[in-house]
Amino acid sequence: MTRPISWVIGFLFLISLVVIGVLGARLGDEKDRAEQNASKSATQPASEVASQIQFNPPSLDDVPEGPKGEAILRGHELVNDTSKVLRSEAASVEDGMNAVNELSCSSCHAGAGMDENSSPLVGVAATYPAYISRSGEVVTIEERINGCMVRSMNGEPLEEDNEDLDAMVAYFQYISEGIPVGAELPWLKQNEMKEVPVPDVAAGEELFQQSCIACHAQDGSGTGALTGPALWGEGSFNDGAGMARMSKAAGYIQNNMPKGQGGSLTEQEASNLAAFILSQDRPEWGDHAGDWINGGRPKDSMTKELRAQVKDGTIDWEKVLGHKE
């Protein structure tokens, strides 16, 4: 009886060794795969990381109570209807007009920056501080906001200790919750057309009159900051704004216009419209010489001189658009 029992025990011991060997091999394979995945994560391209970040801004219904929540809601109000809020609260009509033009942040960034299809600002707080080529400096989000205030809004900067500036920052931080600092955000369109076709200004005017006047008015003065912002004239952005560049304006128009139909215009049509709009009179930026101090000054900023050249027919679009030196 002892021999069969010994044989069985030996057989079971052998089977155990085989099982242990198989499990060890599997555990080793899983460890190798884990290490490979960790290595891939560490070296994962920013584009792949960006694809894993979801556009999912928090609801204003979830804003916390107390001073922080009040600041966030005030910031939302300011971003959504900048001109109306600041002008209505100014000490005088003149002060209000000096503080801001007729635009709002939502004029370009619809829904206070939470509309995914219209240059959203969700996650923007996670992208600052950032280097800005135009100023040649690393700027904070506060400085970036003020850049818009003095250029796109053609107004005055907010003081460093201004509660409204703090409120706008609080709002941008709120809609950036959960976004890693420095993350590449796939929904932040650059709105820049890399190769702008030589425009036909007359064709741009014709298309404008056909398709744009219902929102922006026949004279470009607009119907309201949220319904159809002023595209030229005293109520619009000055010629130091990014939108005063052909590449930026044409890119924005193609990506976002007509409202709700972004991408429906050809590059040529967008270029034609941009050239017509930017050839109209608008406020002048007072410090062009202070921009691009480190070089790289773009040629396509439609300054007063270039607007005059469009009107007298002497503009060299090939040169302006960088098609030739």
What pLDDT digit, counting tens, does each position of 198-227 carry? Answer: 999 999 999 999 999 999 999 999 999 999
Helices 67-80 + 163-174 axis angle, to 10: 90
Q: Do both 131 and 240 map to the same domain?
A: no
Indicate if the pLDDT at residue 35 is higher than 70. Answer: no
Indicate if the pLDDT at residue 2 is higher than 50. Answer: no
Specify the number of domains making up the chain: 2
Cα–Cα distance measured from residue 259 to residue 268, given in angstroms and rounded to the nearest whole number: 18
Dihedral angle of Cα 87, 93, 97, 101, to the nearest 10 degrees: 40
**Which of 156, 174, 192 represents a domain boundary (last residue)?**
174
Residue 142 lies in a domain: yes
Residue 38 lies in a domain: no
Tokens of 18: 């085989």
Q: Do both 70 and 153 map to the same domain?
A: yes
Tokens of 114: 């939470």
Residue 165 lies in a domain: yes
Residue 48 banded pLDDT, cuts 50, 70, 90: low
Between the CA of residue 180 and those of 75, 128, 135, 155, 189, what are the distances in Å? 22, 11, 25, 32, 18
**Which of 174, 193, 212 represents a domain boundary (last residue)?**
174
Cα–Cα distance measured from residue 145 to residue 162, given in angstroms and rounded to the nearest whole number: 12
Instruction: Please report the pLDDT score of residue 188 as a whole number.
Output: 81
Instruction: Please report the pLDDT score of residue 190 as a whole number.
Output: 74
The backbone region for 50, taken as left when phi is positive above 0, alpha when psi lies in -120 to 50, beta otherwise, is alpha
**Which of 136, 155, 174 represents a domain boundary (last residue)?**
174
Across the range 282-294, mean pLDDT stands at 97
Q: Do both 316 and 207 map to the same domain?
A: yes
236 exposed, middle or buried (CB, 10 Å; 0-12, 13-18, 19+)? buried
Tokens of 259: 């409202």
Measured over the CA atoms of residue 283, residue 142, residue 254 and residue 199, the dihedral's sign is positive
Give the structural domain span for 247.
201-320
pTM reported for the whole predicted model: 0.83
Cα–Cα distance measured from residue 118 to residue 145, given in angstroms and rounded to the nearest whole number: 18
Query: At 252, which CATH number?
Result: 1.10.760.10
Cα–Cα distance measured from residue 266 to residue 279, given in angstroms and rounded to the nearest whole number: 20
